[in-house]
Amino acid sequence: MFLRRLIFGLFLTTLSYSANAQKAYINPGVDTTDVRIKEVIQFYQSYLGDFKGKKLPDFNKYWSVEDCKNFKIPDPSVYGIGGDYPTVSMATVKTIFYVKPLSDSLYILKTTGGWIDSLKTYNLLYNSNHYIKKTKSKRLEFITPYQYSIDQWESKKVRNVTFFYPKKIKFNSTRADELINQIKKLEKDWNSPPIEIKYFYTLTYDEIQFIRGFDFTLGLGNADKPTGISNQTDNIVYCAGSGENYFHEVVHIYLNPMHKNSPLNEGLAVFYGGSMGHPLKWHIKRLQDYLINHNAIDLGKLDNFYFMDNYTNPNSTILGMFCQLAYDRDKINGLKRMMTYTSIKEILDKEFNIRPENQNEALRKLIYNYKTID
């Protein structure tokens, strides 16, 4: 997605800051004369300070024993926008602007994070919520947004997938069974045992980001479309807009760990589960139309072609098409072969006989010739 490129840019600008311990400013209006609030702010600042660039804090210091037992990363906001770089480390400027004691033992702390560009304009990256409780032994601990709002959630387990969904949603067993059937086939094709998955789904991605700890993250506010993200460290799917069957993210959980060096993991997930609510062929058709009308785009520089519009990601569509072509040729063995390559150049060369010097023309031809109607 287009955000990935932006995040990569941010990541580079953030590197120079990452050696410094992170600390948030405190906005005027936060009552730091209240000792309870002061203590909560110190707790949060200490946590923030333990994020050093890519390095994560020792969660045992800040989260409950139970959360640390259940999750390698108990804080769902760590990779709030995507990728494997902590969202708080992307933000070069952070401000705590709201600390509310709901009782003597429960607090909400809101932070805003962003960066300042070359024109000295402040750009907002996220607004986060952290929920902090004081235990009986007077220890401060974070609790997850899910725990905080647990009375608004239902859960249901089907085979290896535990679905978590807001009470206002009526669970659709037919769709859940469709997901499970696809999972069974995936396990068979790739010789994988079932993986226990926590699957959070909502109607909108705003609600997903809320359950991950945010009121806002960069990219929210555009027209709704099915959107998901997966956490392969703790096997969690977060998704909105496709109900109980967001297969794409489940594919990432099963297959990414098997192919750590492949550039095709996103393509493989699009091949199996489509993208943003539509199957691969729908995206290929849109890509064909787009390329016909945009002759200046140079597919020789594939990495530069990462944004088309809000509904089709051209890069992941092309990667998905590579997987589809390999599957059409040699079924599952074709896919398995594809996933052994470690660069796009190698894939183009070995699978499609395309050399760097004529990549633009040859790749355009490959895309135009793809039959999107059976």
Which lies closer to Zn ion via its Cβ, residue 92 or residue 313? 313
Q: Considering only 53-61, 238-246, 253-261, 262-270, which stretch makes contact with Zn ion by CB under 5 A?
A: 262-270
Q: Give the three-class secondary structure for 278.
A: strand
| Nearest distance, CB of residue 252 and Zn ion, angstroms | 5
CA dihedral 258, 303, 353, 291 (to 10 degrees): 120
The site map against Zn ion for 221-260 (x = CB under 5 A) is ----------------------------------------
Q: Where are the alpha helices (DSSP H) in the chain?
A: 2-15, 35-49, 65-70, 87-90, 145-148, 173-189, 205-211, 247-255, 265-273, 280-293, 314-338, 344-352, 359-368
In the complex, the smallest distance separating the C-beta of residue 248 from Zn ion, rounded to whole angstroms, is: 6
Contact segment (CB under 5 A) with Zn ion among 201-209, 261-269, 280-288, 292-300 equals 261-269
Q: How many residues does the chain have?
A: 374
Using the minimum distance from each CB to Zn ion, give the nearer residue, 98 or 327. 327
Structure tokens at 203: 């109607």
Name the closest residue to Zn ion (Cβ): 269
CB nearer Zn ion, residue 91 or residue 269: 269
Please tell me whether residue 208 binds Zn ion under the rule CB under 5 A. Answer: no
- What values do phi and psi take at 178, rounded to 5? -60, -40
Contact 102, 137 (CB under 8 A): no
Nearer to Zn ion, 180 or 269 (CB): 269
Q: Are 291 and 285 in contact (CB under 8 A)?
A: no
Q: Region of 191 please: left (phi>0), alpha (psi -120 to 50) or beta.
A: left
Shortest Å, Cβ 313 to Zn ion: 9
Instruction: Considering the complex, state which of residue 239 and residue 302 has its C-beta at the smaller distance from Zn ion.
Output: 239
Residue closer to Zn ion (CB basis): 153 or 190: 190
The binder of Zn ion chosen from 10, 269, 276, 348 (CB under 5 A): 269
Q: Radius of gyration of the chain from Cα atoms?
A: 22
Q: Which residues bind Zn ion (CB under 5 A)?
A: 266, 269
